[in-house]
Amino acid sequence: MTYVRKGFGLKAEVQDTLAADYTGQLVDMLRARDYTLHAGQTTVRLAKEFGFCYGVERAVDYAYQTRLKFPDKRIFLAGEIIHNPHVNAKLREMGVVFLAASGKGFDYAPVAPSDVVILPAFGVTIQDFQTLRELGCVVVDTTCGSVLNVWKRVEVYARDGFTSLIHGKFYHEETRATASQVEKYPGGQYIVVRDMAEADLVMDYIEAKAGKPTPRPPLSRTEFLEKFAKAASDHFDPDLHLDRIGVANQTTMLARESLAIGVAVGDAMARAYGDTHRSEHFRTFDTICSATQDRQDAVVELLAEPLDLMVVVGGYNSSNTISLAALCAEQVPTFHIADPDEIDVDGNAVRVRRVGPHHHEDDIANWLPTAGALRVGITAGASTPNNKIGQAVACIFAIRGERVDTSL
């Protein structure tokens, strides 16, 4: 296997193409004007941290470099490079073939040794790596450095005999890849909790097993295994594998919830077995990536201002975008759109992802007030290009019938 992790030295050659595909003039104007645009009675405020993070920029850059480096080779991508429909569509236009999911990894049946496979920013499982190694093809690895840091943490947990309790979504590519790291050591175990409610089930089980009272009726062993059947390692046994726990997380989850889960699980172990047990049998580290944290902090800062509504731009399957929308929805009406193409300017309608645990999309009519003063906040997930943010801003002013002064 030819393994490439640092690109092909073609950054300068693809820079103009990347800028043409993803740069947004209105976003540049917002930055230059203290993240604010006014026109008539409409004000748009942009969060100060938004859009493409370093890891996403790197992944997209390497994908473009790969196409330039191998103009005549078949190029495959394990899933999506990032969770943004516009970016993935661009790669398809460039002839990149997307591999379908298969089990906990991807189906590499179409790949030949003479082909190239790009690994996404989320990474792939250790089983995927082994398959690619056996194929002997060229592998371009764009796995984000923040994700690699979590892998290292989980690997150490497994090495030291700790079960990894991962705050994340068991079906998400990043979490599948992270969880697989425990398999580097015999007997390595993991369990994935989606939120504090699922973490509560784990904590109740720990305390009940120790004979302590619990705030809720604890699950039986059978119920526990059924509940986490898809979210735990193959031979996970709650009676054996909740004795030593190390907490980690999917890097794009809501940071405050990840931190709260870490504290709560440690406290539950102390209540069950005492502080000494906790100090010896429990570990936790904040593995939220800095870009995710920065974007969430910027949204919290923006929400301190008077706003009539928030628009959050990013893929419906983008975890960090979903977290931003959830933060916003706590304080102000929030519209999570995958792409500005979801906005019907003439009809003043929009297609959104409803904020909440049950994913569904909905069409909303007359979503934007067309008269009176209006202050709109806007942000975007770490996989959303600037041009899509700018297009969303342009749609807002167009619905309001107001023209932005574009002179600098």
The reply to whether 138 and 156 lie within a common domain is no
In a domain, 5, yes or no: no
What pLDDT does 286 receive? Answer: 78
Same domain, 262 and 340: no
Mark which of 284, 307, 339 sits at the end of a domain.
Answer: 284
Q: Are residues 135 and 171 in the same domain?
A: no
Q: Does 169 share its domain with 279? A: yes
Q: Which one of 258, 284, 310 terminates a domain?
A: 284
Q: What is the pLDDT of residues 218-233, one digit of tens each?
A: 999 999 999 999 999 9
Q: Are residues 41 and 84 in the same domain?
A: no
Say whether 93 is catalytic: no
User: How far is residue 393's CA from residue 307's CA, in Å, rounded to a whole number?
Assistant: 15
The ranges of the chain with pLDDT < 50 are: none
Domain co-membership, 101 together with 66: yes
What total number of domains does the chain contain? Answer: 3
Are 220 and 234 contained in the same domain?
A: yes
pLDDT in tens, 317-334: 899 999 999 999 999 999
Asked whether residue 82 is assigned to any structural domain, the reply reads: yes
Specify whether 294 is located in the same domain as 308. yes
Residue 404 located in a structural domain = no
Residue 4 included in any domain: no
Is residue 308 a part of any domain in this protein?
yes
Q: What's the CATH number where 116 sits?
A: 3.40.50.11270
20-58: pLDDT as tens digits: 999 888 999 999 999 999 999 999 999 999 999 999 999
In a shared domain, residues 269 and 361 = no
Whether residue 150 is found in the same domain as residue 274: yes
What's the confidence (pLDDT) of residue 285? 82
Q: Which of 109, 143, 177 is the last residue of a domain?
A: 143
pLDDT at 16: 95
Dist. CA 194–CA 166, nearest whole Å: 8
Residue 2 lies in a domain: no
Q: Looking at the structure, do residues 251 and 178 belong to the same domain, yes or no? A: yes
Confidence at residue 407, expressed as pLDDT on a 0 to 100 scale = 66
Residue 120 lies in a domain: yes
In-domain check, residue 318: yes
CATH number, domain containing residue 202: 3.40.1010.20
Residue 191, domain extent: 146-284
Choice among 49, 155, 174, 257 that is catalytic: 174
Instruction: Mark whether 80 and 210 lie in a shared domain.
Output: no
